[in-house]
Amino acid sequence: VQLVESGGGSVRPGETLRLSCTVSGDGGSANCMGWFRQAPGKEREGVAGIESDGSTSYADSVKGRFTISQDDAENKLYLQMNSLKPEDTAMYYCLADRSISGRLCYTRLWNSPYNYRGQGTQVTVS
């Protein structure tokens, strides 16, 4: 399974970006998928997740601004980011995992030994 993120870039505060994650291989059977971000000098943060039943969850820091969605037909995961702030600047990673599920599963994605993770896409807001 391979995950490849795209859509990052440099924008001004208040602007919008849409991140995409293309999943190849047998990643379509993931029970949990999500986005994490890592900024220099800051703790890694789970941003949003989506479960196999379509339920979504968000970190408080992005709730109301970011939307996670998936297109099963295209094997893609998206993160729509509106009203971007300088504190959203980070490397954004897409993750998927078959072994974990349930509410807020995305918070456990990074530390799962069975996860699949992309190389990341940089988002800079300034």
What is the band of 35 on the pLDDT scale with cuts at 50, 70, 90? very high
Tell the residue number behind the tokens 């994605």, with chain if given.
109
* pLDDT over 90 (residue 5): yes
Confidence of residue 26 (pLDDT cuts 50, 70, 90): low
* Per-residue model confidence (pLDDT) at position 1: 85
pLDDT of residue 30: 86
- Sheet strands side by side (includes 17-24): 2-6, 17-24, 76-81, 66-71
User: With bands split at pLDDT 50, 70 and 90, how would you rate the model's confidence at 28?
Assistant: low
Model confidence pLDDT, tens digit, residues 41-74: 999 999 999 998 999 999 999 999 999 999 988 8
What is the CB neighbour count within 10 angstroms for residue 76? 15
Which residue's entry shows tokens 């993160």? Answer: 79
What 8-state DSSP symbol labels residue 79? E
Distance separating alpha carbons of residues 116 and 61, to the nearest angstrom: 24
In this structure, the strands spanning 66-71 and 121-125 are unpaired
Percent of the chain with pLDDT over 70: 98
Sign (positive or negative) of CA dihedral 69, 49, 109, 61: positive
Looking at every residue in the chain, the average pLDDT score rounds to 94
